[in-house]
Amino acid sequence: MSLDFSGKHVVVTGGTGALGTAVVASLLAVGATCTVPYVHDAEAQRFPHRGDSKVILIAVADLADEAMVAKVYDGRKLWGSIHIAGGFASGKVAETGKAVLMAQINGNLVSCFLCCRAAVNAMAAGGRIVNVAARPALEWRSGAGMTAYTVAKAGVAALTVALAEEVAKDGILVNAVAPSIMDTAANRKAMPTASFDAWPKVEEVAATILFLASPVNRVTRGAIVPVYGKS
């Protein structure tokens, strides 16, 4: 199966992170032009695709802010929008205040919602949207001890399915992936005794995202695809 993104413009939020970098690399390899918003200057500075003629880096303060999202999508003829940006927080409900809950909802769900809305409005002739949920979004009991994160990612899953139904008639296919813990340097550092071999690699998760975002995907919509590896 050959994926060809020649002439296609794709927004990748969270594109300077571990998974995002793998997604952008995969897109560039098949001819895409990528807009990559970023919040942290340090990530942008070490981004390996900085300076590539097909990469547009845009500094934003907060993707839960409508004006910032408009800046990313304004005036761009868009084929795809991939929403990886988000954050994680652990903590039992009894120990989690409103500020932490709202940070998770804003960082994971509101940002995704606003980017989906902007993407739909920028897709004049159809396109693809891929969101990133998480395993607890499908398996709620596994979200014990990180309930605020679970609530936000479950919202991303519900958003994906509802939006997919809304825009199918417009030729826009909306899907999501739901990773388990991925094999990244940060996760290895946080869980040094874990079985890293069981974790899905970011390149493997990126490959699933790339298919869902590609013209080759003609029929899959409203799916929340588990990408768990052996874990």
Cα–Cα distance, 50 to 52 (Å, whole number): 6
Question: Would 26 be classed as within a structural domain?
Answer: yes
Q: What is the pLDDT of residue 195?
A: 87
Nearest partner of 217 among 179, 156, 171, judged by Cα: 171
Q: What is the mean pLDDT of the chain?
A: 96
Question: Would 113 be classed as within a structural domain?
Answer: yes
Question: Would 24 be classed as within a structural domain?
Answer: yes
40 — pLDDT class (breaks 50, 70, 90): very high
Q: What is the pLDDT of residue 125?
A: 86
Question: Would 157 be classed as within a structural domain?
Answer: yes
Q: What is the pLDDT of residue 1?
A: 62
Q: What is the pLDDT of residue 157?
A: 98
pLDDT at position 201 over 90: yes
Counted residue by residue, the chain has a size of 231
Predicted structure pTM score: 0.96
Question: Would 109 be classed as within a structural domain?
Answer: yes
Contact yes or no for 104/64 (Cβ under 8 A) = no
Cα–Cα distance, 181 to 190 (Å, whole number): 11
What is the pLDDT averaged over residues 200-213? 96
Over the stretch 113-165, which tens digit does the pLDDT of each residue have? 999 999 999 998 899 999 999 999 999 999 999 999 999 999 999 999 999 99
Question: Would 37 be classed as within a structural domain?
Answer: yes
Long-range contacts of 168-171 (CB under 8 A, 24+ apart): 168/221, 170/120, 170/123, 170/126, 171/125, 171/126, 171/127
Q: What is the pLDDT of residue 159?
A: 98
Token pair belonging to 34: 């990528």
CATH number at residue 150: 3.40.50.720
Contact yes or no for 176/223 (Cβ under 8 A) = yes
Alpha helices in 96-190 (DSSP H): 98-104, 111-122, 135-138, 147-167, 185-190
- Number of domains the chain is built from: 1
Residue bearing tokens 């927080």: 89
- Domain with 143 in it: 9-227
What is the pLDDT averaged over residues 186-194? 91
Question: Would 212 be classed as within a structural domain?
Answer: yes
Nearest partner of 159 among 110, 94, 216, judged by Cα: 110
183 versus 167: the higher-pLDDT residue is: 167
Question: Would 3 be classed as within a structural domain?
Answer: no
